[in-house]
């Protein structure tokens, strides 16, 4: 292979870092005008190992961390996030700050302050958010991996829409210190990379343990009738085929109540995000985009009793999922996104009447996972008829990341979707 930027992270570790940096810089120069994945490329990157870059919400002492916002456009952090400290200690280079949805509160990748991030497979389409730059930069092979955060799908949606692998970690698995908070009861940090194997390397660095759990047979559960009824046909066909690749005889189970669990997630997310932003919402509401301001307004009338009742119910919902959905299986599989990747126009501020429905469809299969606090891995499983990626989501028990990554690796050994590179 002539371009070292196209190697996997695992392979890149044996290439001289200077060559990797040069190759990544050349690709950034070529791709950045087209996809707007970076907010800032560091002239003098920190560290000398395999190049990574991260969503601009992981603080680094002395460096600006805009959080994708106007409010923090020039804000300089006075501490370095725990996740970045661990990646530094593991010897990775940090090439710069990646684009993201404003304050990590949007599922599409639109950003009116820094410009929309655009999908490398077709810039008319969304990248997914809120870790939009992480998804786009890894997919276009500008860096070997990136950190994202996931409160309602923000690692998995960009991974799904950009055709890469993304891991939402178990709540509490990776320390949140020094990362922008959105909804602390739901916030998680996870890697986006080119394969499950690469995600495992990054997880090991940021979680202090991890890797890939060897298991001879991984039992898969799915709800194929629900998928056929509710997902778009191209999505359903790809996901059901992928499930068969993982397990010839998957267990059919009743689906979790995605919509009720998503509603619980939203109650928690809206209440906590609005509390987090209360001071700025009082003092400078005009500095938010209208979309984020609207989302934040929505949290101020959530009754405290409802919020706490939903949190009191969380343990029962988790126990039900593990006992019923995963009763005889290790992993529950479903689409990452139940619909095909939409365009930037139809999900943007001029998207019209259908826009709210489209946003709801986008997050329908991710939010419920955050309410349960469990880990989930998204891997690419095909392309639709327009050439946009399709994705498979694997959900496991708390702290089962290594098993999910092993399942992802097994799938990627049998397929080559993760090796496809946008031209």
CB of 152 to other proteins, least distance (A): 13
Single out the catalytic residue among 65, 69, 81, 130.
130
Q: Are 339 and 236 in contact (CB under 8 A)?
A: no
Half-sphere exposure of 369 (CA within 13 A, CB side): 35
Helix (H), strand (E), coil (C) string for 206-227: HHCCCCCCCCCCCCEEECHHHH
Q: How far is the CB of 154 from other proteins (least distance, A)?
A: 20
Closer CB to other proteins, 146 or 267, in the complex: 267
CB of 278 to other proteins, least distance (A): 7
Catalytic residue check, 70: no
The answer to whether residue 154 is catalytic is yes
Q: Given 101, 149, 154, 223, which residue is catalytic?
A: 154
Known catalytic membership, residue 185: no
Least gap, CB of 347 to other proteins (angstroms): 18
The DSSP string of 305-330 is HHHHHHHHHHHHHHHHIIIIITTT-S
Is the CB of residue 269 less than 8 Å from the CB of residue 151? yes
Please state the φ and ψ torsions of residue 166, each to the nearest 5 degrees. -140, 140
Task: Reply yes or no: is the peptide bond before residue 193 cis, omega within 30 of 0.
Answer: no
Decide whether 294 or 349 has the Cβ nearer to other proteins: 294
> Cα–Cα distance between 400 and 17 in angstroms, integer?
32
Nearest distance in Å: CB 293, other proteins = 8
User: Rounded to whole angstroms, how far apart are CA atoms 163 and 380?
Assistant: 5
Enumerate binding residues for other proteins (CB under 8 A). 170-172, 185, 257, 259-260, 263-264, 266-267, 270, 278, 281-282, 285, 290, 293-294, 297-298, 300-303, 305-306, 308-320, 322, 373, 397-400
- Nearer to other proteins (CB atom), residue 252 or residue 259: 259
SS (H, E, C) 330-367: CEEEEECCCCCCCEHHHHCCCCCCCHHHHHHHHHCCCH
Contact 407, 215 (CB under 8 A): no
Cβ proximity to other proteins: between 303 and 352 the closer is 303
Question: Which stretch of DSSP H or E encloses residue 407?
Answer: helix 401-414
Q: Among residues 101 and 262, whose Cβ is nearest to other proteins?
A: 262
Active site amino acids? 55, 130, 154
């Amino acid at each position: 292979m002539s371009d070292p930027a196209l190697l996997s992270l695992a392979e890149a570790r044996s290439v001289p870092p200077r060559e990797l940096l040069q190759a990544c810089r050349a690709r950034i120069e070529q791709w950045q005008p087209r996809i707007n994945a970076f907010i800032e490329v560091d002239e003098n990157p920190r560290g000398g190992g395999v190049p990574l870059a991260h969503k601009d919400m992981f603080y680094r002492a002395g460096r600006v961390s805009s959080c994708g916002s106007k409010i923090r456009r020039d804000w300089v952090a006075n501490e370095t996030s725990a996740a970045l400290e661990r990646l530094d200690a593991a010897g990775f280079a940090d090439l710069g700050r990646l684009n993201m949805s404003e304050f990590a509160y949007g599922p599409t990748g639109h950003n009116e302050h820094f410009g929309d991030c655009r999908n490398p497979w077709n810039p008319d389409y969304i990248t997914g958010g809120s870790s939009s730059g992480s998804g786009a930069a890894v997919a276009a092979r500008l860096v070997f991996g990136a950190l994202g955060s996931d409160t309602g799908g923000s690692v998995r949606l960009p991974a799904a829409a950009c055709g890469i692998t993304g891991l939402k970690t178990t709540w509490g698995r990776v320390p949140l210190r020094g990362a922008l908070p959105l909804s602390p009861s739901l916030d998680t940090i996870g890697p986006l990379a080119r394969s499950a194997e690469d995600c495992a390397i990054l997880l090991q660095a940021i979680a202090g343990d991890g890797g890939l759990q060897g298991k001879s047979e991984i039992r898969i559960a799915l709800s194929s009738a629900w998928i056929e009824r509710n997902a778009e046909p191209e999505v359903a066909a790809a996901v059901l085929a992928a499930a068969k690749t993982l397990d010839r005889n998957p267990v059919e189970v009743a689906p979790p109540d995605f919509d009720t669990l998503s509603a619980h997630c939203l109650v928690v997310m809206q209440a906590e995000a609005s509390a987090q932003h209360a001071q700025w919402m009082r003092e400078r509401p005009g500095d938010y985009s209208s979309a984020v301001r609207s989302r934040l307004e929505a949290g101020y009338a959530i009754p405290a009793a409802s919020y706490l009742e939903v949190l009191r119910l969380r343990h029962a919902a988790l126990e039900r999922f593990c006992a019923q959905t995963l009763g005889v299986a290790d992993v529950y599989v479903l689409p990452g996104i139940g619909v095909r990747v939409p365009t930037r126009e139809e999900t943007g501020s001029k998207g019209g009447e259908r826009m709210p429905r489209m946003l709801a469809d986008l997050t329908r299969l991710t939010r419920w996972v955050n309410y349960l606090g469990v880990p989930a891995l998204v891997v690419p499983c095909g392309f639709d008829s327009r050439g946009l990626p399709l994705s498979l989501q694997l959900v496991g028990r708390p702290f089962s990341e290594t098993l999910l990554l092993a399942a992802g690796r097994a799938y990627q050994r049998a397929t080559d979707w993760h090796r496809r590179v946008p031209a």
